[in-house]
Each structure stands twice: as C-alpha cells, then as structure tokens.
Chains A and B, each alone.
Chain A
Amino acid sequence: AQKVTQAQTEISVVEKEDVTLDCVYETRDTTYYLFWYKQPPSGELVFLIRRNSFDEQNEISGRYSWNFQKSTSSFNFTITASQVVDSAVYFCALSDIGSGNTGKLIFGQGTTLQVKP
C-alpha cells in the first residue's frame, strides 16, 4: 500500500533560521511522482514542487530546496532563512502513476510550521 509519513507534526522556529520538513513515502511502484503543497492560514492549497521517481537531482527555488533520496524513500523540504510568511501547514504527497495511472494524491498528515518574528 502507498503511504506518506510526515513525522513532524509541528515545528516552531525563529525568523531567519533554516528549517527542514521531513517526508518519507512507501510505494511498490517504480514510477511515481512526489509533491509538496503549502496550506497558509487562509486555507487554500498551493503547489510548490513536483518530482518524478527517475530524477533524483536536488532542486532549489529561491529560499526553498528539496532533497530526494530514493535509497531512503525520502523527499525532504528545506526553507533557508525562514520568514513569518512561511508559517503554514506543509503537505507532502505521492501520486500513483505506475499502477492505475490516475494522478490521485496520497497526502501525509502535514507539518505545521510556525515562524516567529
């Protein structure tokens, strides 16, 4: 069965600190996609990144970076020099492309990040 685990329920940091959000996934598929979404206090879900299972290159976008390691089934998300506006719930998700090919997402439970000024 496919599963996404975000073991950190809540993280609190002070502005300008770096913070890493962990994501561990389980799947039997060889072809899959991993995602991160952000849910700010206003409630909408904002897409951040998509990574396919064949591309293990790390990615950096501004203050955001992602580390994908197939060997440990992890897809961690780091925010560098955090800001108050980064306060949100962050979700990691897995898409089962290999079997069924639907694109439906399996979400982790989310990590609530609080950045204090």
Chain B
Amino acid sequence: DSGVTQTPKHLITATGQRVTLRCSPRSGDLSVYWYQQSLDQGLQFLIQYYNGEERAKGNILERFSAQQFPDLHSELNLSSLELGDSALYFCASSVSFESEAFFGQGTRLTVV
C-alpha cells in the first residue's frame, strides 16, 4: 500500500459527461501529480500541485482541470468526455521535488 488513495477505482460514463476523480496524498506529502495512462500515449504527465498551488502543467486538455484543497487532497475534473479520454488516471504524491513519487491504485475511466 503506497499510502496514496484514489477514488473511485472504476468509472463508466457516457460521452459528453463530466466526472471528478479524487486523490488523497500520503500524509505529509505536499506535492500531488496527475498522470494519464493510455494504450496509445503511454504514461503522460498532466498536472502538478504543490501545497495548493499549481506548479507544472503537461499535456492536459482544456476540458480537464484540477485543484488541490487546503487539506492537500486533490481533484481532477474531466468534462465533455470523449471516447478517447478512456484511460487509467493515476495520482501520485511526493514529499519533495527530488524524492520519489508514490502512486495510487489509479482510476480506470471508461467513456461509452
């Protein structure tokens, strides 16, 4: 158990809908990262928050947004969903930028 909790584990939704993925980082970790894993793109960095502030952005679509709350949990919001958004979405946390990131179990999103 990495200590990073993601909910839900599975999500099936229709095209055009909006979903929210939730992540609770390990205790004490200020940095939260979101990654997308798909068959064609592999593991791609989406966005990072550090202590409530956006720190870095990757190839995140404009339809996607995220935030980190004062209790350090984070949410990834995906809207106007398309079939191509079906993927495994991982959250990871780390205590510092130099240390290893620990990953949650992922949320498998299926858009039908």
Give me the interface of A with B, judged by CB distance under 8 Å: 33, 35, 37, 43-47, 50, 52, 91, 95, 97, 100-110
Contacts and interface: CB of A to CB of B under 8 A. Distances in A.
B39 to A, nearest CB: 11
Contacts of A101: 97
A101 B42 CA distance: 23
Contacts of A104: 33, 45, 48, 56, 58
B62 interface: no
A47 B100 contact: yes
Contacts of A105: 33, 35, 43, 45, 92, 101
Interface residues of B, number: 28
A47 B97 contact: no
B105 A43 contact: yes
B106 A44 contact: yes
B31 A103 contact: yes
B18 interface: no
Contacts of A100: 56
Given A43-B88, A44-B103, A106 B45 contact: yes
A91 B37 CA distance: 12
B65 interface: no
Contact of B102 (A47, A52, A103, A108): A47
A100 B35 CA distance: 18
B43 A91 contact: yes
A103 B100 CA distance: 8
Given A47-B100, A50-B99, A107-B43, A102 B48 contact: yes
Query: Nearest 5 A-B pairs (CB), nearest first?
Result: A103-B97, A45-B103, A102-B56, A107-B43, A50-B100
B42 A109 contact: yes
13 contacts: A33-B98, A35-B100, A44-B105, A45-B90, A45-B106, A47-B102, A95-B97, A101-B97, A102-B55, A103-B31, A103-B48, A103-B101, A104-B45
Contact of B42 (A35, A50, A110): A110
